[in-house]
Every structure is written in C-alpha cells, then in structure tokens.
Amino acid sequence: MKAAILSAPQPVSERPLQIVEVADPRPRSGHVLLRIRACGVCRTDLHIVEGELPPKQVRIIPGHQIVGDVVDGELLGARVGVSWLGGTDGTCTYCKRGMENLCDSPTFTGYTVAGGYAEYAFARSDFVFPLPQALDDLHAAPLLCAGIIGFRSLRVAGVEKGERVGLFGFGASAHLAIKVLQAWDCEVYVSTRGKSHRELAESMGATWVGSETEKPSVELDRAVTFAPSGDVVVAALSSLRKGGIVAINAIHLDRMPQFDYDKLLWGERQLRSVANMTRADARDFLALAAEIGLRPKVTVFKLDEANEALMAVKNDAVDGAAVIVP
C-alpha cells in the first residue's frame, strides 16, 4: 500500500514525510483492518513530524482522524472512525476510575502505532466508532480529534448553557467548538491571529472577534486556548471573571510565561489542561455532531501532498480543517 512515512523528525519545510509503497498491514487479533477513505490533519501531527513530541517508533505513519471501511475483523463492512486514543490497558488506576484519557499505558494512533496517512490501517476493534450516516467521509474526519477534543475542552472548562465562552485561536478545533457552543446558546468570543481566521469566526456568528492581543470588553465565564502558546493562555486568564476556568487544548506549549497570581489566578480562577479523550467523549460528540448537523470547513489534500497539508496547518493557511484522501 501507499503510505506517508516519518523516519526522522524535521521542520516540515524540509518535507520529512516520504510517500512510498510499504507492505500491507498484517492481521492482528483484536483489531480491524480499515480501507481508509479520509484522514484529518491535526496540529499534533505537526508536533510529531517536527519532533516536539519525541519519536516513539523508528518509522511511523502519522494521522489519527481516520474514516475507513472495515474490510477485515469485527464490524465487517461498517464505516468507522478512529481517533488519537488508539487503546488503553484497561487495568491502571486511571482506567479503573473512568479516566481512560489519562491511562498509564495508552496507545496513540499515528504516534505509537501506525496511523491514517495511508491506504490501509489497523485499529483496535474496541476503539473504533461507527459513524452516523449524516456525517460524510470528508466532514467526519476532522471531527475525530479536532472535534472530539474540542468538545472535551468545553467539558473540562465546565461550560454551561448560556455562558460567555472565549475561544483563543480559531483553527480546526475551535471552528467546530463554536457550533457546539451556539447549540448550547452560549455567547462566543473569539480571539485569534490571522485575518482569514477572524473573518471565518465572524461569518460563523461569533458574538465578538478580535486579534490575539485584544481583550473582549466583558468578562468571560470560560475560555479554551488552542494555540501552542503560553502567552495566549495568559491572555485567556486575564479575560476571566472570578471563578472562571481556562482549559488549555494543546499537547505542547512553547513555554508558560510568568504571570501575576494576584491579578490573574486569585479569585478561584482555574487553569486546566486537556489531555487526550475518552471513548465516551467520542460517542457523545459524534451523536451531537450528527444531531446539530455539524459540518466542518475542509480543504482536501492528496496523500502525495501530506507534507504540503502539514505546512498549510503550520502556516495557518487552512480555514477550517485539512483532510488527506488516499
């Protein structure tokens, strides 16, 4: 099969992914074989390819937002989705407490096991999600990480109906989260760099839109940050009311700057990180997405253009989400 392989992390401008023919994946028990229809491109893929996340395998196929048909194994013939959480041990203290997103021995799709920048992939049969018919391939793919983890971020931020919520950054994840927030009658305040991202936020009905350094004129109940930047986290904190919560939706931050505790955290403001996802997050979100007719804005790339897709994500040149079609 054809696949995009990473052997050595490098800046994406060096085109680190090699698109080559590799042996077809061999059947494994407890797994299903998928013929891939589409695979979303996530900022985490960029962190893997550029080495901000240390390599776990000598060679890896990235990609963890896979839509595919089961061609071998349980659920034969079903169209399913695979996300970042490729598996857990089921036995550690976190799994036993219902916090499988924090599992001590997790498997991550496209990082610790082969992912979806390919024609075929294996996935654990208990970690695939049958996809509602209402979600077509291209529009389902970005839901599988950007969507699910964006949804988890809203949960971690404790968002309640009708609240004022800030989204700091407006890429693939945020442009899905805004639709969920609107379905919950929230006012959405978007702070983001890049004119086209601000225009997209405006066209999607944000209550307020500003650049990454501008502050909304009202205090926010909740905020979610999406940029891999500690300065953005501090900007989000400074926009909160007392008792408000900032959830950081980023697997990697450039650094966490010093900030003024008395002004920014005192008053029971909280700073929380968002780590991975649970299968319950995935199921709840996919059902909600089908119900509210969530349709991401997508830009399609061929598998041969996997490096270009990552470059576009890095340069904020994609409005909405990038999707690779093999």
Chain contacts with Zn ion (rule: CB under 5 A):
42, 44, 84, 88-89, 92, 95, 103, 145
Cβ closer to Zn ion: 16 or 216? 16
Tell the residue number behind the tokens 């949804």, with chain if given: 151
Closest distance of CB 201 from Zn ion, Å: 21
Give the DSSP per-residue string, 129-164: EEPPTTS-HHHHGGGGTHHHHHHHHHHHTT--TT-E
Token pair, residue 301, equals 């790339």
CB-based contact 221:165 (threshold 8 Å):
yes
CB-based contact 103:92 (threshold 8 Å):
yes
Closest distance of CB 153 from Zn ion, Å: 12
Closest distance of CB 95 from Zn ion, Å: 3
Closest distance of CB 249 from Zn ion, Å: 10
Q: State whether the Cα torsion 184-186-188-189 is positive or negative.
A: negative
The three-class DSSP label of residue 199 is helix
Closest distance of CB 45 from Zn ion, Å: 7
Cβ closer to Zn ion: 99 or 292? 99
Question: CA 219: distance to chain centroid?
Answer: 27
Closest distance of CB 5 from Zn ion, Å: 19
Instruction: Return d(Cα 118, Cα 110) in angstroms, integer.
Output: 11
Closest distance of CB 20 from Zn ion, Å: 24
Cβ closer to Zn ion: 129 or 208? 129
CB-based contact 149:274 (threshold 8 Å):
yes
DSSP 8-state class, residue 251: S
Cβ closer to Zn ion: 145 or 234? 145
Q: Please, which residues have CB within 8 angstroms of residue 82's CB and are 6 or more apart in sequence?
A: 34, 64, 65, 66, 68, 109, 116, 121, 123, 127, 128, 129, 144
Closest distance of CB 46 from Zn ion, Å: 10
Question: CA 168: distance to chain centroid?
Answer: 15
Token pair, residue 274, equals 């968002």
Cβ closer to Zn ion: 34 or 146? 146
Cβ closer to Zn ion: 186 or 298? 298
Cβ closer to Zn ion: 105 or 211? 105
Cβ closer to Zn ion: 240 or 248? 248
